[in-house]
């Protein structure tokens, strides 16, 4: 199989150009979809039978939570590829994705907290999903902290790759443990931020938001990757020539 297209893609100057051209192709549709999704969710969808209008925060909460997990898996796969095949671009993807994933995790936690207040009167509840999300945020912070602590870029890339892989293996174990732990202590407070039973006119804005968020991640990833590439190739000639032009 001819892999030259792949190697060409992974070459920094080539990728830099492609990423720059792709970003708006992801960005504008993302913006559009998010606007449509928000309108559909906040305005068009009928109020939930049990939770009234408060449930609408689901339209930001659920996609954020999903994105935080999706990004972690992407990050781990990219880091694994970078580790095994020593492809610098893969490491750059992992480096660029980590803060985005962390912000999505934080957003999921914040919206989860905002949801809890009007529904159950407390700013925080040790719900299985929220706790799991919090631990995911800790895993992200660990990755970011490790990368920041190591000065040599190569070592930082590879160390974070190992950490990401260890994290992704542990993630199902953590997830299961937290769910089990949560089922033990039912009853004292309402512990589940339950998804209301979804009808189709509630569902489509949710799906639109998910796709919109994913495209947003792709757009932001392209932009961040360009910045990563510049940072890593600081001394390369192609960069100096390109800037001189």
Does 71 help bind other proteins (rule: CB under 8 A)?
no
Q: Under the criterion CB under 8 A, does residue 178 sit at the interface with other proteins? A: yes
Work out which of 126, 181, 183, 240 binds other proteins, going by CB under 8 A: 181
Q: Does 153 bind other proteins (CB under 8 A)?
A: no
Interaction of residue 186 with other proteins, rule CB under 8 A = no
In three-state form (DSSP H/G/I as H, E/B as E, the rest C), the secondary structure along the chain is CCCHHHHHHHCHHHHHHHHHHHHHHHHHHHHHHHHHHHHHHHHHCCCECCCEHHHHHHHHHHHHHHHHHHHHHHHHHHHHHHHHHCCHHHHHHHHHHHHHHHHHHHHHHHHHHHHHHHHHCCCCCCCHHHHHHHHHHHHHHHHHHHHHHCCCHHHHHHHHHHHHHHHHHHHHHHHHHHHHHHHHCCCCCCCCCCCCCCCHHHHHHHHHHHHHHHHHHHHHHHHHHHHHHHHHCCCCHHHHHHHHC
Please, what is the minimum distance in Å from the beta carbon of residue 181 to other proteins?
A: 5
Can you tell me which of 7, 14, 117, 155 binds other proteins, judged by CB under 8 A? 155
- Residue 202 interacts with other proteins (CB under 8 A): yes or no: no
Part in contact with other proteins (CB under 8 A); list of ranges 27-35, 145-153, 202-210, 230-238: 145-153
10 binds other proteins (CB under 8 A): no
The verdict on 173 binding other proteins (CB under 8 A) reads yes
Binds other proteins (CB under 8 A): choice among 18, 110, 146, 211 = 146
Exactly one of 6, 49, 126, 180 binds other proteins (CB under 8 A); that residue is 180
Output b/e per residue, 138-149; b: 16+ Cβ within 10 A: ebbeebbebbee
In whole angstroms, how close is the CB of 146 to other proteins at the nearest point? 7
Q: Closest separation between CB of residue 225 and other proteins, Å? A: 23
Interface contacts to other proteins, rule CB under 8 A:
83, 135, 138-139, 141-142, 145-146, 149-150, 154-155, 158-159, 162-163, 165-167, 169-170, 173-174, 176-178, 180-181, 184
């Amino acid at each position: 199989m001819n892999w030259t297209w792949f190697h060409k893609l992974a070459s920094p100057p080539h990728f830099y150009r492609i990423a720059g051209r792709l970003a708006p192709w992801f960005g504008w549709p993302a913006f559009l979809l998010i606007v449509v999704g928000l309108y559909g969710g906040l305005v068009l969808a009928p109020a939930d039978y049990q939770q009234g209008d408060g449930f609408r925060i689901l339209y930001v909460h659920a996609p954020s939570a999903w994105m935080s997990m999706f990004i972690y898996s992407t990050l781990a796969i990219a880091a694994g590829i970078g580790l095994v095949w020593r492809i610098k671009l893969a490491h750059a993807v992992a480096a660029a994705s980590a803060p985005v994933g962390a912000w999505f995790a934080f957003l999921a936690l914040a919206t989860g907290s905002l949801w809890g207040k009007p529904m159950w009167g407390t700013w925080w509840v040790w719900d299985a999903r929220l706790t799991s999300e919090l631990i995911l945020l800790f895993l992200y912070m660990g990755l970011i902290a490790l990368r920041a602590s190591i000065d040599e870029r190569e070592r930082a890339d590879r160390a974070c790759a190992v950490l990401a892989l260890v994290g992704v293996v542990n993630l199902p174990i953590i997830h299961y443990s937290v769910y089990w732990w949560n089922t033990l202590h039912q009853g004292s407070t309402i512990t589940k931020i339950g998804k209301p039973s979804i009808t189709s006119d509630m569902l489509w804005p949710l799906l639109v938001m998910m796709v919109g968020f994913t495209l947003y991640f792709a757009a932001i990833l392209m932009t961040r990757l360009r910045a990563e590439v510049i940072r890593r190739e600081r001394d390369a000639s192609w960069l100096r020539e390109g800037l001189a032009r």
